[in-house]
Amino acid sequence: MKTLLVTISKGGVGKTMCTCQLARHARSLGLRVLVIDFDDQVNASNALERKYTENDVVATRLGQTATELLLRYSETDLGSIPEFALVAGDGALVREFVEFARTTDPGQVHSRMYMAQANFAAFLGDIAPHFDLCIIDSPPAADIRISVSLMEGDAVLSPIQLSQECIEGIAETLSGQRGILRIKASTNPELQFLGFLPNMVESTPKQREALREIADNVGEFLLRNENEELVFLPRRAAFADAQEKGTALANLAKTNTAAREAWAITKPIFTLILERLGLTPKLRQLDASRKIQKIESQALGVNPDDVLGATADEGAGNESVASRS
């Protein structure tokens, strides 16, 4: 299992959208996906528990919420483990960790932090055999939720907006006290920073100026494709629409031209992210087994589409394809 934290110390830049859309896409390809919602706003939990069409898969909650997981993790309380799962947010993380740290003596705070990290590490160890990919959605903050994820995770992706205000968030996320580089240097040398991914990009002079400034300061940390070109997600209503409806962008793309255009830009970026996470061999395996199933069902004279549903590419979120993989 690869664990990807989606984080940046700036609100409203697309962390939850990237988390949910990448999760739905990865699931549509047959990967077993877990999403952890570490944000008290519970936007990812809500979006992944919505469903728009029959093609959409709702993520199933594990038996413990995010706060329970950190405070009193118990493997037996997780219940049965589905292939598209959610550790739901519960709105209590700030109270139990951030406010607790402000109002309690340092000894108790330290032992709670220590316990949270130990619980999180134990949880990830226990569920690792059940999933290929775990994506953590985070709040626009840099507290214990981010530190435990950085300490125990494999990789980080940071969506950004090309704006002056986002530049401070970039610095904090990269080099702050609980920043990626600091935690990588001190406790998790294996941590892989996939990079900053500009989102909601528009071709305006202000955004071009902000991109120049970001590139001058942290150019080496911007996500680039195999040709070393910068990649970005444009501002398109289709992203918000897909999130609101509870569906994959690829699903909207079947009937909506604007969504198709947005998906054509997004899909290679998601492929790049899955590749950087080392999931390409697993995806090839899944693709090969789908092809074999198709050939077998054709040989049996069964309509392969009845058996397999749409192909993974067309049928984002189609559980009938994924659950047999």
How many residues line the site for ligand ATP (CB under 6 A)?
19
Does residue number 9 form part of the binding site for Mg ion (CB under 5 A)?
no
> Does the footprint of Mg ion cover residue 10 (CB under 5 A)?
no
Residue 15 in contact with Mg ion, rule: CB under 5 A = yes
**Residue closer to Mg ion (CB basis): 15 or 282:** 15
* Nearest Cα to Cα of residue 60 among 84, 44, 35, 36: 84
Burial code (b: 16+ CB inside 10 Å, e: under 16) for 119-138 equals bbeebbeebeebbbbbbbbb
Residue 40 touches ligand ATP, criterion: CB under 6 A: no
Does 37 participate in binding ligand ATP (rule CB under 6 A)? no
Residue from 5, 14, 67, 134 that binds ligand ATP (CB under 6 A)?
Answer: 14
Q: Kindly tell me which of 38 and 123 has the beta carbon lying closer to ligand ATP.
A: 38
Block residue for tokens 């993380």: 93
202 binds ligand ATP (CB under 6 A): no
Q: Binders of Mg ion among 230-259, rule CB under 5 A?
A: none
Tell me the window of 162-170, 177-185, 212-220, 238-246 that interacts with ligand ATP (CB under 6 A). 238-246
Q: Which of 4, 13, 162, 273 binds ligand ATP (CB under 6 A)?
A: 13
CB 320 → ligand ATP: shortest distance, Å?
A: 27
Site for ligand ATP (CB under 6 A): which residue of 4, 17, 31, 59? 17
Q: Mask: binding to Mg ion, 34-73, rule CB under 5 A, as x and -?
A: ---------x------------------------------
Question: What is the Rg, in whole angstroms, of the alpha carbon atoms belonging to the chain?
Answer: 20
| Interface residues toward ligand ATP, by CB under 6 A | 11-17, 39, 41, 43, 140, 199-200, 233, 235-236, 239-240, 243
| Interface residues toward Mg ion, by CB under 5 A | 15-16, 43
